[in-house]
Amino acid sequence: MNSLVQVLPLLLLGSLLALMIVRQQVMSREPSWWIGAILDGSAVAALCGGVISWSVPTWISIQTQDLVQPAVLFLAGWVGLEIGCGLDLRVVRRASFLPFLTETASALTVTVVVFAVAYAVSSLLPGGPQTIPAMLLILSGICVAGPALPASMVALSRGAGRGGFWNPSVAAALAVLLAATGMALVSGTESGIYLDSPYGRLLWAIAVGCVAGLVADLGSREDFAPGGLYPQIAAVVLVAAGIAGAVGIDTLLVGTICGFWLVNATLRRLDILHVVERGATVPRLLAPFLAGWLVGDSLKATGVDSGVFLFVLLLLLLLRPTARVLARRMLQSHSSGRRQERQSASVVEINEIGILLVVMLTRFVEPATGAGAVAAVLLAKWLLGIGAQAWEQREAAPS
């Protein structure tokens, strides 16, 4: 039995390596939709992170903890930068007010439902998870979060003129605001720095984001090559995220304010958008990998809270599709004078924003509770992705 326990990590690592090789070979041959959905890249990345974290010796996992937290903070700041750059006032002024109103109503409704369900589970059912308001606000943000890079984004290039922009990602900004409010309700930080009120934490997050946006704007004016802007912007995001993490304020909100300031103040708007769009590839895979790493590390140390896991999983599988689909239906029903576009099933999928929101949640809850929530979000992301692909195939099939 002891020999099996010692060999099991090696077997898992070998199986994982074989899975990655098989996936590479299968995906290169344009497989069926269900194979591509099951072997989703982010799901495989999360599985890799969990298996590697669980399999490595304890002394290695302890050493890597000093790297995981800064990486999470940087990714949160960068994704926030993507969201902020999507709130371009040049585009917002020309956009209809209806999407803002619809997304806001959807966010408020989902928040009320999440709190009501949590109250019913914790009060009426014996042994239900004891939730806290901060956690519920972050879960509400995961349910309503939209993509930072909309699928309808116009291709960006230096010669795109006024045509190159992103559509404003209202749902993503509302999700960040909900999560920032939840983080502001948590008192005290690991570093011992204490901000005495939620309003103070929110104001400090806005102030740090504004300063970061100003510094990024000043630092990116002299370099005329879009590729040369990566070091300046990445360095500003890393420093701002580190400061935000040290004082216990929401890194996503800091990054969003920084991106909002940068894209609306700079004279090189298209270059900035081009840089951020090209740099968006990293969070797509690194965010689920780090989330899987946290789950694997918790499985080895403290375990996973099964009650929180089931609660978050059911909540996301029910409310996430409902919130996103109803919001799109409301928009389509009010745009009677326009051409009705077919609704993509991808709106129900959870992207890196939801993953980073729940990873930020782990900073102020018990390790087993946080691991249960992260595992539930990763599983819900995989299941919703498969469901979205199945729905797309059903809609595309001839009647």
Tell me, what amino acid is at 235?
A
User: Is 95's pLDDT higher than 60?
Assistant: yes
For residues 14 and 19, what is the distance between their CA atoms, to the nearest angstrom? 9
Confidence band (pLDDT; 50, 70, 90) for 159?
very low
As a whole number, mean pLDDT of residues 31-42 equals 79
Cα 355 to Cα 327, 329, 363: the distances in Å are 21, 25, 14
User: 80-84, 262-266, 279-283 — which is least confidently predicted?
Assistant: 279-283
Dist. CA 129–CA 122, nearest whole Å: 6
C-alpha to C-alpha distance for 41 and 286, rounded to whole angstroms: 11
List the Cα angle 91/93/96 in 5-degree steps: 90
> Closest Cα to residue 241, out of 251, 232, 249, 233?
251
Would you say residue 218 has pLDDT above 60? yes
Estimate to the nearest angstrom the gap between the alpha carbon of 377 and the chain centroid.
10
Q: What is the pLDDT of residue 191?
A: 42
- Between 185 and 179, name the one with better pLDDT: 179
* Mean pLDDT calculated for residue range 148-170: 54
Number of helices followed by number of strands (H, E) in the chain: 16, 0
Among 30-39, 147-156, 168-177, 272-281, the least confident range: 147-156
pLDDT band of residue 132 (cuts 50, 70, 90) is: confident
Kindly state the average pLDDT of the residues 170-177: 91
**What pLDDT does residue 336 have?**
52
Integer Cα distance of 121 and 318 in angstroms: 15
Q: What is the longest distance spanned by two Cα atoms in the chain?
A: 70
**Start-to-end Cα distance in the chain:** 56
- CATH number among 1.10.3470, 1.20.1530, 3.20.20, 3.30.2010, domain 67-333+344-396: 1.20.1530
Query: Over 90: is that where the pLDDT of 86 sits?
Result: no
Confidence of residue 162 (pLDDT cuts 50, 70, 90): very low
Q: What is the 3-state secondary structure (H, E, C) of 122-149?
A: HHHCCCCCCCCHHHHHHHHHHHHCCCCC
Looking at residue 156, what is its pLDDT?
Answer: 43
User: Kindly report the CA angle at 102 between 139 and 180, in degrees rounded to 5?
Assistant: 35
Angle between helices 367-396 and 133-144 (to 10 degrees): 20
Q: What φ, ψ does residue 14 adopt, rounded to 5°?
A: -65, -40
Q: How many other C-beta atoms can be found within 10 angstroms of the C-beta atom of residue 155? A: 9
Q: How many CA atoms lie within 13 A of 342 on its CB side?
A: 8
Q: How far is CA 183 from CA 171, 188, 309, 363, in A?
A: 18, 11, 20, 10
Contacts of 303 by beta carbon, 8 Å cutoff, 6+ apart: 368, 371
pLDDT-based confidence at 77, cuts 50/70/90? very high
Residue 190 has pLDDT above 50, yes or no: no
User: Residue 160 above 60 pLDDT?
Assistant: no
pLDDT the model gives residue 240: 94
Tell me what pLDDT residue 153 has.
45
* Other Cβ atoms closer than 10 A to 246: 14
Residue 343 banded pLDDT, cuts 50, 70, 90: low
How many angstroms separate the CA atoms of 279 and 238, rounded? 14
Stronger pLDDT, 10 or 39, i.e. the higher one: 39
Of 208 and 54, which is predicted with more confidence?
A: 208
Tokens 């109250």, residue? 119
The answer to whether 308 and 373 are in contact (CB under 8 A) is yes
Cα separation, 354 vs 92, whole angstroms = 24
pLDDT per residue as tens digits for the range 346-359: 778 888 899 999 99
Kindly give, in sequence order, each residue whose CB lies less than 8 Å from that of residue 322, ignoring residues fewer than 6 positions away. none
pTM over 0.85: yes
Token pair 């890597």 in the structure block, residue: 64
Chain mean pLDDT for the chain: 80
* Measured distance CA(382)–CA(12) in Å, rounded: 20
| pLDDT of amino acid 397 | 67
